[in-house]
């Protein structure tokens, strides 16, 4: 993204400034609790669930959880992406001027949620938008993007294929690239989720102290976000980077190598390409370069864990049936880690003991359909 100004620093102060700027354009989404899911997650897994894992034959972990769900599925366009998109376009308007921005327009590539977010932000601010979307994107996300008046151009599903089409659009139109995740203003905008989650958690626990696992000094012990390109995780980690009592974790699908961030951290090197058809379609991209710098910093992100397709489906079913909340598969990977990843569950048991952890879970989006949900949970599955 071309700009005459240096990139804004990834600091809590930058996230705070972004929140003040975008508040008129976004929803303050609710934070929900669910005692049923607390109990399920705090129950040891069946021994059979550990078969074939490094923990087979061992006593299952006995962690204790209290969850606080930040429902970005209720955000405008149904996902957290509205935050980063509005922040980026508003900053562009400040830097380039309204007339120049309207003359050139903006362009991006996205499987759906950032596509809809940028289309909405551009429409709201009367800026032309060109959106490159993989042809396999969810039909409802394509329709949602087009409903905001954006010009949609289709591409292949991999990042190089998307980026090639973006380059063609830029050459033809002069549009300014607003990347889906690997850009400072996007990351900072997504980090505003953390501001709201922290404040809303404090309000909930103050009103009802029994919601917290802590008898004294209630605080969020951990916050989980999904990781695809990594903008949400890097942004939230930036907000909490000066708050040592709260650790930020990331969650990914393991299917067909979608856990590129986890694998990259293990190898000490960012994985540059991913090709996967995980049901968590919003997480099919590799972690961005800028986001990797944040996520690979252990002082900012405490760890990244992966879960299977069946575990994602099981977590999604619990949210649909027990919480009565509609989410897409990408949104529940953090919850799935808490429910099923024995490595993480043992960490909580070891460090929290009998008291347990208060854990913020970011439901990143809810852009799915009745048909998609039926396909996931049909008898053939």
Cα–Cα distance for residue pair 86/18, rounded to 1 Å: 9
First to last CA, the chain: 42
Exposure string over 269-279, b if 16+ CB within 10 A, otherwise e: ebbeebebebb
Confirm if 332 and 316 have CB atoms less than 8 A apart: yes
Q: Which residues are catalytic?
A: 81, 111
Cα–Cα distance for residue pair 151/146, rounded to 1 Å: 7
HEC string for the chain:
CCCCCCCCCCCHHHHHHHHHHHHHHCCCCCEECCHHHHHHHCCCCCHHHHCCCCCCCCCCCCCCEEEEEEEHHHCHHHECHHHHHHHHHHHHHHHHCHHHHHHHCEEEECCCHHHHHHHHHHHHCCCCEEEEEECCCCHHHHHHHHHCCCEEEEECCCHHHHHHHHHHHHHHHCCEECCCCCCHHHHHHHCHHHHHHHHHHHHHHHHCHHHCCCCCCCCCCEEEEECCCCHHHHHHHHHHHHCCCCEEEEEEECHHHCCHHHHHHHHCCCCCCCCCCCCCHHHCCCCCHHHHHHHCCCCCCCEEEEECHHHHHHHHHHHHHHHCCCCCHHHHHHHHHHHHCHHHHHHHHHHHCCCCEEEEEEECECCCCHHHHHHHHCCCC
């Amino acid at each position: 993204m071309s700009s005459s100004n240096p990139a804004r620093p990834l600091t809590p102060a930058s996230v705070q400034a972004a929140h003040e700027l975008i508040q008129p354009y976004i929803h303050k989404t609710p934070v929900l609790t669910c005692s049923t899911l607390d109990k399920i997650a705090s129950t040891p897994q069946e021994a059979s669930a550990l078969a074939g894992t490094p923990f087979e034959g061992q006593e299952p972990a006995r962690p204790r959880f209290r969850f606080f769900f930040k429902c970005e599925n209720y955000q405008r366009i149904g996902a957290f992406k509205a935050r980063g998109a509005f922040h980026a376009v508003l900053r562009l308007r400040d830097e380039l001027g309204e007339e120049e921005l309207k003359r050139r327009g903006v362009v991006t590539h996205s499987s759906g949620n950032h596509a809809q977010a940028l289309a909405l932000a551009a429409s709201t601010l009367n800026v032309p938008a060109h959106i490159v979307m993989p042809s396999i994107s969810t039909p409802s996300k394509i329709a949602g993007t087009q409903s905001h008046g954006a010009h949609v151009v289709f591409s292949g599903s991999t990042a190089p294929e998307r980026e090639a089409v973006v380059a063609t659009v830029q050459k033809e139109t002069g549009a300014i690239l607003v990347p889906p995740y690997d850009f400072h203003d996007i990351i900072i905008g997504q980090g505003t989720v953390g501001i709201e989650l922290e404040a809303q958690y404090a309000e909930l626990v103050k009103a009802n102290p029994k919601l917290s696992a802590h008898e004294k000094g209630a605080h969020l012990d951990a916050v989980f976000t999904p990781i695809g390109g990594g903008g949400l995780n890097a942004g939230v980690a930036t907000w909490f980077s000066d708050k040592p009592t709260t650790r930020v974790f990331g969650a990914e699908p393991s299917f067909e190598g979608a856990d590129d961030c986890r694998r990259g951290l293990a190898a000490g090197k960012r994985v540059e390409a991913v090709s996967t058809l995980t049901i968590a379609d919003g997480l099919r991209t590799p972690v961005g370069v800028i986001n990797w710098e944040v996520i690979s910093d252990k002082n900012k992100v405490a760890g990244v864990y992966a879960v299977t397709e069946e575990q994602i489906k099981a977590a999604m079913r619990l949210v649909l049936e027990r919480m009565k909340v509609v989410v897409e598969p990408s949104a529940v990977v953090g919850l799935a880690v808490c429910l099923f990843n024995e490595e993480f569950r043992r960490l909580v048991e070891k460090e929290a003991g009998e008291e347990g952890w208060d854990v913020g879970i970011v439901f990143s989006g809810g852009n799915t359909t009745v048909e998609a949900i039926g396909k996931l949970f049909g008898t053939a599955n």
